[in-house]
Amino acid sequence: MSTQVQGQEGTVSSTSPTWGLLLHGLYDPYTGKLSKPAAPPPETRIVGVDVEIVNDGPGSLTLGTNPIILRDAAGVDYPGGQVVGTEPALRARTLGAGERSRGWVWFAVTTDAELADLVLNVTPPETRLPLASVAPATPVTTG
């Protein structure tokens, strides 16, 4: 004898959004003009990236400020936003399904850092399945 749980007829589902990260250019060292600070901090080099973030999911996603991290081979993370160049910067915004956002992010890394990864650091989305529209399940006994 087995017991199955059965709910209302039909399927109720929920999906999680997905992010895509595209790199259009890595500039190491970045030789453009800095707008913040006026000169690189001592014992650092500036790295600039031209990136595009894509919402490949079915719902809206919020892209926060400075979501890109540059990681070196030793596992040290360098957050974006400490330095700023003059190219169009990646901006915080909400991306609808299928939308993209492109812009630059700059990093001040130690002069001897060996770059390893570009990381998109976003808050995981919360996926909800509304239960108000689902009928309670009833056990079904089969022989």
Amino acid 19: pLDDT: 82
pLDDT (tens digit per residue) in 19-75: 889 999 999 999 999 999 988 999 999 999 999 998 888 777 888 888 899 999 999
Amino acid 63: pLDDT: 84
Residue whose entry in the numeric block shows the structure tokens 């990864």: 117
pLDDT (tens digit per residue) in 102-126: 999 999 999 999 999 999 887 666 5
Is 117 part of any domain? yes
**Euclidean distance between the first and final Cα of the chain, in Å?**
5
Amino acid 87: pLDDT: 96
Looking up residue 101, the CATH number of its domain turns out to be 2.60.40.1240
Amino acid 137: pLDDT: 60
pLDDT (tens digit per residue) in 124-140: 665 666 677 666 666 66
Total tally of structural domains belonging to the chain = 1
Domain that residue 33 falls in? 17-123
Is 4 part of any domain? no
Is 136 part of any domain? no
Closest CA relative to residue 128, chosen from 19, 17, 15, 18: 15
- Whether residue 115 contacts residue 23, with contact meaning beta carbons closer than 8 Å, is answered with no
- Contacts for 28-34 with beta carbons within 8 Å, 24 or more apart? 28/115, 30/85, 30/106, 32/85, 32/86, 32/87, 33/85, 33/86, 34/83, 34/84, 34/85, 34/86, 34/106
pTM, two decimals, is 0.75
Using CA atoms, how far apart are residues 51 and 90, in angstroms rounded to an integer? Answer: 8
pLDDT (tens digit per residue) in 76-96: 999 998 899 999 999 999 888
Amino acid 141: pLDDT: 63
Is 128 part of any domain? no
What does 27-53 look like in DSSP terms, one character per residue?
Answer: ESS--S-EEESSSPPTTEEEEEEEEEE
Query: 3-class SS at 105?
Result: strand
Residue 7 pLDDT more than 80? no
